[in-house]
Amino acid sequence: MRVDLLIKNAAQIATPVTRVPHALPGNNNFMVIENGSVAIRDGVIAAIGETPEVISSLNGEMPRAVIDASNKVILPGFVDCHTHPVFFHTRENEFTMRLMGKSYRQIAETGGGIRSSVRSIRSASKEQIIEAVLPRLDRFVEHGTTTIEAKSGYGLSTDDEIKSLECIQELDTIHPLDLIPTFLGAHEIPDEYRTQRNAYIDLIINDMIPRVAERALAEFCDIYIEQHVFTIDEGRKILTAAKSAGLHLKVHANQLSANGGAALAAEVGAISAEHLDYISPEEIEQLARGNVVPVLLPGAVFYLNSNHYAPAREMLEAKLPVAISTDFNPGSCMTESMPIIMTISCIKMRLLPAEAITAATLNAARAVNRQNTIGSLEIGKQADLVIWDMPAFEHIVYHFGVNLADTVIKKGKIIWQKQRNPVLKLYRKKLKESLQ
Ligand SMILES: [Zn+2]
């Protein structure tokens, strides 16, 4: 068998699976292969299993390249299915204000929050925005993420929303990370429409959505349902218009209050409902009946110093495919790191390590309608995977706050590799020599 890249001898390959045998007890859809190898051809997984099996499947043919993953763990690349990376200025001043006692809502009401990011994105050119976003995309990759969903939503005028979506489109072509675009014109009411919110909703429905859909600038349409932002009725109107324009739907729901957003997501046939910190058992049922993926964002709960986490275990008991994501944004969760979010998910929402990995990979892929191509390591799937410098998969959540990524592979190609510090390398060499 012709193979472009063989990754061999991994201490473990750990992945959720949609098909396949040897699952861990209690984790029917999670598989751990000890001494595992993966063979990649044309950017796709051609063989995966125990090393001797995979080697014999090559029928003596030499792979074009080989990586030895001894003492390391291979996981699928993370799918970060809810991010807001297209902002211009950062908002560290609000971080300090919150530490001094101001709430997220109070900061928003005095012109900070999303509205401050709106003023900033409007002031910037496309080129300036792209330059600001690129290092963020590098950081996603460095921390093991190979696909992100990326929302607009800091433009809030037709031109600035389109500008943001064009940036996402261009970044997707120039950066190896895959970006899946979501139109979030209904993120907030912009200042100039404060006293005429209906006119803004008309603008979204009659101008923004048709133009975004016509140019295929977004795959999803999202909305922020919350007190002081959009109501259920307004949400229904906007999402219905987006659906008839051919966009798939997402809803920011039940983040700061029990606002009925999750029920709306089920009613309009959204692919996912996101946040869900204040969800009722009835709404969990509605999500299950409507096949809506719950995307939980515990990093935002942590960062806003709330203790009201989404009831992840209840959702898992209701057989919902729980996904987790960073919610990367300059206000309520400034991190590109999925592993830190996974650790928070385990400690605060009581996910088990295998459940956190599934939530960050296959279930997150479901939230962006990519479950057939990414999110797990199975024959025929895109070869998006990460080699981690750890002896067992649990270390991804257990050994927290440091980056243990070693090599990131996207579509079968190495796109990032850890640089070893030359000074430490030299020191280790000397140490070894002195011991001989
Ligand atoms: Zn969000």
In the predicted structure, residue 364 carries a pLDDT above the cut 90: yes
Q: Coil, strand or helix: which one is 257? A: coil
At residue 149, the pLDDT reads 98
The sign of the torsion formed by the CA atoms of 227, 210, 155, 310 equals: positive
Checking if the pLDDT of 413 tops 80, the result is yes
Distance 397 CA to ligand 1 centre (A): 23
The confidence score (pLDDT) of residue 420 equals 80
Tokens linked to 90 = 């950062």
Query: How many angstroms separate the alpha carbon of residue 277 from the centre of ligand 1?
Result: 13
Q: Ligand 1 centre and the CA of 25: distance in Å?
A: 35
Question: What is the distance in A from the centroid of ligand 1 to the CA of 166?
Answer: 19
How much distance in Å is there from the Cα of 384 to the middle of ligand 1? 25
29 CA to centre of ligand 1 in angstroms: 28
Q: How far is the CA of 63 from the centre of ligand 1 (A)?
A: 43
Domain 5-76+377-417 annotated CATH 3.40.50.720: no
CA of 319 from ligand 1 middle (Å) equals: 24
- Cα 84 to ligand 1 centroid, rounded to whole Å: 7
Tell me the CA–centroid distance for residue 260 and ligand 1, in Å.
17
Please give the distance, rounded to the nearest whole angstrom, from the Cα atom of residue 162 to the centre of ligand 1.
Answer: 18
What is d(CA 284, CA 174) in angstroms, rounded to the nearest whole number?
39
Confidence of residue 148 (pLDDT cuts 50, 70, 90): very high
The pLDDT tens digits of the residues spanning 77-131 come to 999 999 999 999 999 999 999 999 998 788 888 888 888 999 999 999 999 999 9
pLDDT at position 173 is 97
Give me the residue spans of the domains in the chain. 5-76+377-417, 78-367
Architecture of the domain whose range is 78-367: Alpha-Beta Barrel (3.20)
For ligand 1, the distance from its centroid to the CA atom of residue 73, given in whole angstroms, is 31
| CA proximity to 73, closest of 19, 144, 139 | 144
**Average pLDDT, integer, range 293-320:** 95
Percent of the chain with pLDDT over 70: 98
Residue 170: both structure tokens together? 């261009």
**Centre of ligand 1 from the C-alpha of residue 207, in Å:** 23
CB-based contacts of 35, cutoff 8 Å, min separation 6: 9, 10, 11, 50, 51
Instruction: Write out pLDDT tens, residues 198-253.
Output: 999 999 999 999 999 999 999 999 999 998 899 999 999 999 999 999 999 999 99
User: How far does residue 338's CA lie from ligand 1's centre (Å)?
Assistant: 15
- Give the model's confidence band at 27: pLDDT under 50 very low, under 70 low, under 90 confident, else very high: low
Centre of ligand 1 to C-alpha 252, Å, is 6
**Pairwise CA distance, residues 352 & 339, whole Å:** 13
Local confidence band at 270 (pLDDT 50, 70, 90 cut-offs)? very high
Q: What is the mean pLDDT of the chain?
A: 95
Q: What is the rounded CA–CA span in Å between residue 327 and residue 307?
A: 17
Give the C-alpha separation, 48 to 33, whole Å: 9
| CA proximity to 239, closest of 214, 215, 261 | 261
DSSP string, 168-231: HHHHHHHSSSEEEEEEEEETS--GGGTT-HHHHHHHIIIIIHHHHHHTT--SEEEEBBSTTSB-
Q: Among the listed ranges 270-284, 395-409, 421-435, which one has the minimum average pLDDT value?
A: 421-435
pLDDT band at 28 (very low <50, low <70, confident <90, very high): low
Give the span between the Cα atoms of 105 and 88, in whole angstroms.
21
**pLDDT more than 90, % of the chain:** 88
**Residues measured by CB to lie within 5 Å of ligand 1, the ion:** 327
**Long-range contacts of the stretch 266-269 (C-beta < 8 A, 24+):** 266/290, 266/292, 267/236, 268/236, 268/239, 268/240, 268/243, 269/243
More confident residue, 434 or 178: 178
* pLDDT over 80 at 361, yes or no: yes
